[in-house]
Amino acid sequence: MKPLHKIIIEKDTSFNPIWIMRQAGRYLPEFREIRKKNTNFIELCLNENLSSEITLQPLKRFNLDAAIIFSDILMLPYGLGQNVKFEKDFGPKLGKLDLNEILKIDESHFVKKINRVYNAIKIVSSNPILDNKNMIGFVGAPWTLLVYMINQQSPKKNLKKDFFNDKFLTNKILLIIEKFLKVHIKNQIQSGANIIQIFDSWAGLIDEKDLPEYIYVPTLNLVNYVKSLNVPVICFPREIKNYKEFCDFVKPDVISIDYNVNPKKILKEIKIPVQGGLDPKILLNDKETLKKEATKYLDIFKDHPYIFNLGHGVLPQTDPNMFDYLVKTVKNY
């Protein structure tokens, strides 16, 4: 069976590869064992032995086509010296953004601070379990990272009222984010990642008139950079209204869709390979429902290059047996 990056490049429809967002993590009992003893999430991501072990856990259980490094998009602000911590039942909390301090950070300082992420990728990509499978690295999109860095927490429903007040600050931070994302991408690829996914978790928050400035242009710059390193790039502009316009402008190798999107509309409008779509909550149902819903996506995209995935991350309360059933359903299709 061909590895995923070749399927993407050749737009192959002969089979549907599968990997799942957040496949390494909270629904696996073996992950929860590790997490119990390692309460600081950032430190866990920076523990190269544990993060590589966590990355490989789902591949030891399930017949997946790719490993995705156990890390976080907020490694970028952390590498730039902004304080980042995760609070239980709240999510990420970021410290005050000091532009003068961030401007002092150079590439070597940034790489040194998060170098253990790259070491973990090296460990995973050299593991024999990855023979003929892919190593996926990832970053947050510039807009989503801008949101976290200025908002200092998840925006959930809205941004701070004064988010766009300081135009100089937002533009300056956006340029810094783009510069260091390229450094982060380059180091992941040099360490063994052969696909990069760009997660724009908060793309749905922005007004249509602001899409070119905050989403299309900054993401296009990153996509072009990844392509220049001869590695395919997947974009996930979550909850964006117009996927066709995004693809026409940004031109990723693969577009990842969320579960609020009509897959038939995507099939009509989009020529490039498509990934994802299934609502993670379907995995909390019975096997019959899961098979029916998964097969719906496989049927729709049967003549279109398609990577099976969810429309967002696997939920913590998911039964690993249901996850296994999903993988087998896709593999036996």
Q: Is the pLDDT of residue 7 over 70?
A: yes
Torsion of CA 78, 79, 80, 86, to 10 degrees: 0
Amino acid at 197: Q
How far is residue 49's CA from residue 38's CA, in Å, rounded to a whole number? 13
Distance of CA 248 to the CA centre of its chain: 21
Q: What is the pLDDT of residues 269-300, one digit of tens each?
A: 999 999 999 999 999 999 999 999 999 999 99
Q: What is the pLDDT of residues 213-272, one digit of tens each?
A: 999 999 999 999 999 999 999 999 999 999 999 999 999 999 999 999 999 999 999 999
> What pLDDT digit, counting tens, does each position of 70-113 carry?
999 999 999 999 999 998 888 899 999 999 999 999 999 999 99
Is the whole-model pTM more than 0.85?
A: yes
Q: What is the DSSP letter of 156?
A: T
- All structural domains of the chain, each given as residue ranges with its CATH number in brackets, are 4-331 (3.20.20.210)
Task: Give 262's contacts (C-beta < 8 A, 6+ positions apart).
Answer: none
Query: Token pair of 178, please?
Result: 């783009």
Give percent above pLDDT 70 in the chain.
Answer: 99
Give residue 40's pLDDT.
96
Alpha-helix residue ranges (DSSP H) falling in 99-161:
99-103, 107-125, 142-151
**Does the pLDDT of residue 146 top 70, yes or no?**
yes
CB 47 within 8 A of CB 39: no
Q: Are 96 and 152 in contact (CB under 8 A)?
A: yes
Q: 315 pLDDT exceeds 80?
A: yes
User: What pLDDT is attached to residue 157?
Assistant: 64
